[in-house]
Structure 1
Amino acid sequence: MNDDYYDLLGVSREASTDEIKKAYRKLARTLHPDVNPDPEAQDKFKKVSQAYETLSNPDRRRQYDMGGGPGMGGFPGGASFDFSDIFDMFAGASGMRGRGQGPTPRQRRGGDVLRRTQVSLRDVVFGTEQEVSFRTAVGCDRCQGSCCEPGTSPKRCSNCSGSGHVQKVAQSLLGQMVTMAPCPVCGGHGDVIESPCTQCSGHGRVPSERTVTVRIPSGVEDGTRIQLRGEGEVGEADGPSGDLFVELSVTDHDVFVREGSDLVTRLSIPMTAAALGASIPLETFDGERVVEVEPGSQPGEEITLKGLGITPLRRATRGDIRVELDVKIPTRLDEEQRDLLEKLASVRDEEKPAATSGRRGHTMFGKLRDRLRER
């Protein structure tokens, strides 16, 4: 018993062509073999497709309505069946159609460039500008990025008529399927360069050495990357340029070490300066400053010089310089020096220092005297 095509599509006999097409697309979304692997669904899809092919064609529909009956359509007989109406419902077909909508531009974005450069700690404190040189691609000055010899221009591809794609027909169980592919003659561009530029070989760019001035802000850290947009490689065929990334390497300093926004240094002073106090000059990045050592300063104590450190990124307040005191105790004394220290120990009643818990119980002079007596 033959199926009624109108019943298969779920439309009335007075349905318009658009209504028939809409009904078919709705059924195809659920019955197509790529969506529904059920054998019964596949069988029904064939019948629905046959019904659609017949009723969507005015002549075949007229013959069917006049009693021509099922089988008037070309699907079962192996004639061509155009699935373009449902291609964009499935990923593979929609991707091919998308690529065939127009030629591919020759222009391509240029690549990014990474260069490394060294900066000093002084540059980190105040910021600086530095020139960075690198090998890259620049626009061709002969063809101005057109890729053609001066006086010539690309010609429309005769193989694809400038569309950039060609049709391919493949046989399948459901009939003939039409797909799109890039034109093999023009590479999908839609035109052909018959006279490429002799300077850039038809690429629109040439290798060259460039020098760029990089502004390095204060507060950068080792490994910081600075991005300069549009300063990288020029793209092919005058395409947009890539970016330049400059990675910073901060060199070690002889005096200071960075800790956050502070600069830290160690100041070695004699035992007498720690005991009596002293004013000691220190060369900083802002010029010479005086470190005031208070009488009785202990080893490891810190003295802060405000506002002479680093200005962190995106902040306006500079850090400090922290000076750690390293008190040097003499290891060799002559007789006069020893007598003086022993007299001082006697005056301070430190000839026999009392033991206290922990190493910090010894006074500075008591430790010095013990060390001398051990010799």
Structure 2
Amino acid sequence: MAKRDYYEILGISKSASPEEIKKAYRKMALKYHPDKNPDNKEAETKFKEAAEAYEVLSNADKKARYDQFGHQAFDGAGGFGGGGMNMEDIFSQFGDIFGGAFGGGGFSGFGGGFGGGQRRVKGSNLRIRVKLTLEEIANGVEKKVKVRRKVKAKGTSYKTCTTCNGSGQVTRVTNTILGRMQTATTCSTCGGAGQIIDRKPADADANGQVYKEETISVKIPAGVVDGMQLKVSGKGNEAPGNGISGDLLVALEEEKHPKLQREGDNLHYDLYISYPDAVLGTSKEIDTVTGKVRIKVESGVQSGKILRLRGKGIPSINGYGKGDLLVHVNVWTPKTLNKEQKEFFASMKDDEHFQPQPQSSDKSFFEKVKDMFS
């Protein structure tokens, strides 16, 4: 099922300011919060949609990618941005949006994720860089990557933190000129996890964790661009106690192709032919991202001619078809000639067939450049 447009979900325009985006999300979150709509699946769905939309549109980098590539910018192995959000991710946003406005009461949410209940700690994210060839970008690929991540050591057990009684927060009441004021801060003993180490093996760290190397599969869709980032949910470092794992962030890097140059979804190829081939015509085998193809070069071709092979470029990340392969014909002029060759060209110097006779259909260099950028 196709995802709804994020701007449509929040009821805002693409030109909305960060404050307008935040205000729209706050309104939606209050309206469809599960505590206000118990056992209402439709409200729960809209609540999650609003959270996913806000997570992307509130981040300048993610918003820019969404505006350019749509939902496909976040596809692949659990998505990037809101693609793999769970209720813990959603409730983690509330502190920024509502600023603790509901105090110690408020919404309890899923597992006490909001308000005065326990908020589960999330493990740290891991970041890796994956290099891709143009062929892999054109066809999509599944990469196996090795990641060294923190996991719970065998034999480690936890117990409820006695400082916060498992809530992960410590509440303090102070007397001020305005009266008694209650504040809640993260428990310094357990770091907000609500649990502390009970037993751990000698090789584990202070959190009862060890490093483990794991092979993870990352599905990369066709048409990605250099610098794009994918997220594999839950494949970062594990959190201590009953926390949730961080994410694996995969930054994509496009490797330079020896013969093809990329420009958006289009590819460019420089084809050099000899002077006799330009005069008589020829056929040449060239590289594409799907293998080699043979193209025909008509006799009398001019240097600078562009041959367009439709659909031989890169698939659009938005699913709008494929780009083209533009073959730039370059007639190679010999720099050294023997005596016989020089005499031949000298005899042809004044021949009418060797005189430049541009046709109205022959575009100038500047016209070609203009066409390329229009």
Q: Is 1:251 paired with 2:255?
A: yes
The correspondence for 1:208, drawn from 212, 217, 224, is: 212
* Cross-structure match for 1:198: 201
Deviations 1:251-308 (A, max 9, x none): 1111000112111010111112112211112133333211211111111111122222
Over 3 Å counting, the alpha-carbon distance change for 1:330 and 1:168 in structure 2 is closer
* Cross-structure match for 2:145: 132
Deviations 1:319-362 (A, max 9, x none): 221110111111222121122223334443758x89xxxxx99x
Q: Is the 8 A contact 1:301 1:325 kept in 2?
A: yes
The correspondence for 2:134, drawn from 95, 107, 121, is: 121
* Cross-structure match for 1:78: none
SS of structure 2 residue aligned to 1:238: coil
Over 3 Å counting, the alpha-carbon distance change for 1:168 and 1:191 in structure 2 is same
Q: 1:96 deviation in Å?
A: 8.4
Q: 1:135 deviation in Å?
A: 2.5
The correspondence for 2:304, drawn from 300, 306, 329, is: 300
Q: Is 1:324 paired with 2:337?
A: no
Q: Is the 8 A contact 2:120 2:193 kept in 1?
A: no
TM score, norm. by length of structure 1: 0.55
Unaligned runs of 5+ in 1: 1-90, 148-152, 355-359, 362-375
CA distance in 1, matches of 2:269, 2:100: 66
CA distance in 2, matches of 1:260, 1:173: 62
Matches within 5 A, 1:1-375: 105=118, 107-143=120-156, 146-147=157-158, 153-154=159-160, 157=162, 195-198=198-201, 200=204, 203-315=207-319, 317-348=321-352
TM score, norm. by length of structure 2: 0.55
Q: Is the 8 A contact 2:197 2:207 kept in 1?
A: no
CA distance in 1, matches of 2:208, 2:274: 70
Which amino acid is 1:327 matched to?
A: V
Q: 1:222 deviation in Å?
A: 0.7
CA distance in 2, matches of 1:310, 1:192: 50
SS of structure 1 residue aligned to 2:284: strand
SS of structure 2 residue aligned to 1:129: strand
CA distance in 2, matches of 1:92, 1:314: 39
Over 3 Å counting, the alpha-carbon distance change for 1:212 and 1:310 in structure 2 is same
Q: Is the 8 A contact 2:193 2:241 kept in 1?
A: no
Q: Is the 8 A contact 2:153 2:209 kept in 1?
A: yes
Deviations 1:31-63 (A, max 9, x none): xxxxxxxxxxxxxxxxxxxxxxxxxxxxxxxxx
CA distance in 2, matches of 1:201, 1:216: 34
Q: Is the 8 A contact 1:103 1:162 kept in 2?
A: no
Q: Alignment identity in percent?
A: 29
Structure 1 window deviating more from structure 2 (330-339 vs 263-272): it is: 330-339
CA distance in 1, matches of 2:143, 2:258: 22
CA distance in 1, matches of 2:118, 2:210: 19
Unaligned runs of 5+ in 2: 1-98, 107-111, 358-362, 365-374
- The total of aligned residue pairs comes to 252
**Root-mean-square deviation (Å):** 4.1
Over 3 Å counting, the alpha-carbon distance change for 1:298 and 1:211 in structure 2 is same
Q: 1:179 deviation in Å?
A: 6.2
Q: 1:104 deviation in Å?
A: 7.2
